[in-house]
Structure 1
Amino acid sequence: MNSRLTGYFYCTLAMIGVGSTVVASKLIANGLPPFSATALRFAIALPVFIAAMRLTGERWPRLGWRELLLLVVQAGSGSVGYTVFLLNGMALTSATDAGVIAGTMPAVAALVAIFALRERPGVMTLLAVALATAGVFVCTMSAGSGANAQGAAAVHGAANGSSLTGNLFVLAAVFCEGFFILLNKRLRTAVSPLQMSTLMTAIGLVLALIPALFERPWQGSVDRAALAGVVYYALVPTVAGFMLWFAGAARIAGAQASAFTAFVPVSAAALAALVLHERIGAAQWMGMACVLAAVLLIASDGARLRPAGRAAASS
């Protein structure tokens, strides 16, 4: 297998893993409080990242106070905020809807850059943002009418929540990740992907630990499915996903790598149907089609801008 095909394979596996976090989060949300689950996820992943740094010979980067503060805000949004909002959303909505909304990440990141960094987007990027918005709108409006997630709610005991509210929580999680990408562009010191992942995990653990103590998770019963979900989330999408993504992205162009985020809603929907026995409705198919088209437009715009030296930095 040549280097490019290997890159495609690694990026595909990484994005399938990202899609699987939605299903894992559904299991976690039904058995553990959000901050407790987040802290446990980071506590499991951190020793693995530290071991990886020792094996590769990487050291902690030398950062000033401004950059340390920036990293704390990054971890608060992209690590803790994303996970907590996602878990809250998964307690109220279907994994299929959440997967479609999570797939809008490239378009959301572009939207954040337009308003916060005043970047001038290409026509295809604007179309991608419109398509992603349409995809979220279709799923959210369908959820608001009660057409979505009724089967999943009945099976998993989430009937006491509003799917519309859950979708908005998931959308908030995606915007947290978009804010994380924005802040990552403000770092002046070069930080390697492994260093960044280790720092985000360590800071995220500290930030999630105090709210987790107020949740008093030790007073409730232990849900084995939720614990298994946390272990899976920590080791497969977080650690293995990081290694696969950067190993794959190093072998292919950045625009090609971004196109593989299209596997997120697809894998989330497939796993939701297989593992959670959720039914994929017409609105969800329509939303998925809009999101997939948006991802491909973002990737096309990235390929067009690359020769002009405006390739986006990977997060």
Structure 2
Amino acid sequence: MGRRFTGYLYCALAMVGVGSTVVVSKLIVHGLPPFTATALRFGIALPVFLLAMALTGERWPRVGWREALLLIVQSGSGSVGYTVLLLSGMRLATATDAGLIAGTLPAVAALFAVVALRERPGVMTIAAITLATAGVLVCTVGVPDGPPLADGAKAPALWLGNLCVLGAVLCEAVFILLNKRLRTPVSPLQMSTLMTGIGLLLALVPALLERPWTAAFDPSAMLGVVYYALVPTVVGFFLWFAGASRIAGAQASALTALVPISAAGFSAVFLHEHMNVRHGWAFACVLAGVALIALEGKYRNGRLARSQPLRGLGRQHAPDACVKVDRDIRSGC
């Protein structure tokens, strides 16, 4: 019981950290361009991952050209694309809405598995995808325009920011699917280091084109980037994988429901945002979808264990949509 409780605690803390990135992103975008902030995040996190590899004695995996290309595309989508779109969306969206949309990742990953990998969805997976879609629509459709800008012009509609956040979730889902195409075994630490290093290289040139040195220095934005790099990225990585190794995949997947909850909590405390009836309905849809994904994983896991009892298959072998979310949600996002 102690081992499982520790696993729950570690995974829960990791997901709370993911939810906090939504609020931190709100602070970063007002002081740094998106590619510059992305490059700084990876530049700060990379030395920590390299040191961890040196201390643990891990070596770089040997991959062919095909897998090297997959890794580049993975980092471009799950690391750079996710961060840039999230930061861009936070210029327009509220942190509460963004956190709710980010919480749909398990259902979005399941949808991509059905569309791109032609996996056969179960009834609960279909219901989870439907609920996640409903939650996004509740956040996006019918949202009034934002407040006037400083120059008196009307702000862009908040739904555009929500769509950018949804695009970030889609990028992370692509990252999850591409990871299934890798043939060479890559450990979590190796993957995180590779995603961070490649992400830094991909974001560096666009960051230089943003000419960040011409902008005024914003201490709060820089502190936000340092927090993003060290706490959710590095500390969250160790917490998630330490916890996921102690509990079943379906149980770890269910804990991703803490992402929208923590994002809403941090938004209320630090940004003074308030929830309304629309947010309540969106919360219900997103959390119900995550619960159905977890139940589907538990059901398939038990069925697999009963069909192959002699191979020791059990809770470690959750279905793809859950396993990849569990293993990769902290690798590059």
Contact 1:30–1:91 (8 Å) recurs in 2: yes
Following the alignment from structure 1 to structure 2, what is the Cα–Cα distance between the partners of residues 86 and 158?
Answer: 24
- Deviation (angstroms), 1:278: 0.8
Unaligned runs of 5+ in 1: none
2:218 paired with 1:223: yes
Per-residue CA deviations over 1:182-212 (Å, capped at 9, x if unaligned) read 0000000000000000000000000000000
Distance 1:211 1:158, change over 3 A: farther
- Name the counterpart of 2:166: 171
Q: Is the 8 A contact 1:31 1:223 kept in 2?
A: yes
Cα deviation for residue 142 of structure 1 reads 3.9
Q: Which amino acid aligns with 1:214?
A: L
Deviations 1:148-178 (A, max 9, x none): x65xx889x9973321100000000000000
Secondary structure at the counterpart of residue 61 of structure 1: coil
1:14 counterpart residue number: 14
Aligned-partner Cα distance in 2 for 1:159–1:165: 14
- d(CA) in 2 for partners of 1:154 and 1:165? 16
Equivalents in 2 of 1:84, 1:7: separation in Å? 31
2:193 pairs with 1:193: no
Match of 1:297 in 2: 292
Q: CA deviation at 1:307?
A: 2.8
1:87 is aligned to 2:84: no
Q: Residue 29 and residue 237 in structure 1: after superposition, are their counterparts in 2 closer, same or farther (change >3 A)?
A: same
3-state DSSP of counterpart to 1:166:
helix
Instruction: Structure 2 unaligned segments of length 5 or more: list them.
Output: 305-316, 329-333
Aligned residue for 1:91, secondary structure, equals coil
- Please state if 1:29 is matched with 2:38: no
Amino acid corresponding to residue 162 of structure 1 in structure 2: A
Residue 178 of structure 2 is aligned to residue 183 of structure 1: yes
Alignment partners' CA distance in 2, 1:91 and 1:292: 25
Distance 1:294 1:154, change over 3 A: farther
Check whether the contact 1:36–1:212 (CA below 8 A) recurs between aligned residues: yes
State TM-score, norm by structure 2.
Answer: 0.90
- In the alignment, does 2:113 pair up with 1:118? no
Aligned to 2:155: 160
Report the TM-score, using the length of structure 1 for normalisation: 0.95
Moved more, 303-312 or 128-137: 303-312
Query: C-alpha distance in 2, partners of 1:210/1:27?
Result: 23
Residue identity over aligned pairs, in percent, reads 66
Q: What's the secondary structure of 2:224's corresponding residue? A: helix
Taking the aligned partners of 1:278 and 1:158, their CA distance within structure 2 comes to: 23
Instruction: Check whether the contact 1:15–1:261 (CA below 8 A) recurs between aligned residues.
Output: yes
Aligned alpha-carbon RMSD (Å): 1.7
The alignment of Structure 1 onto Structure 2 pairs a total of residues equal to: 309
Give how far 1:288 is off.
Answer: 1.1
In the alignment, the residues of structure 2 paired with residue 253 and residue 158 of structure 1 have an alpha-carbon distance, to the nearest angstrom, of 51
- Distance in 1, Cα, partners of 2:74 & 2:52: 22
Paired letter, 1:200: M
SS in 2 for 1:121: coil
Letter in structure 1 aligned against 2:6: T
Alignment of 1:1-315 (within 5 A): 2-143=2-143, 145-146=144-145, 160-309=155-304, 311=318, 312=320, 313=323, 314-315=327-328
Instruction: Tell me which residue corresponds to 2:308.
Output: none
Residue identity matched to 2:119: E
> Per-residue displacement from partner, 1:209-234 (whole Å, max 9, x unpaired)?
00000000000001111111100000
Whether the 8 Å CA contact 1:91–1:161 is kept in 2: the answer is no
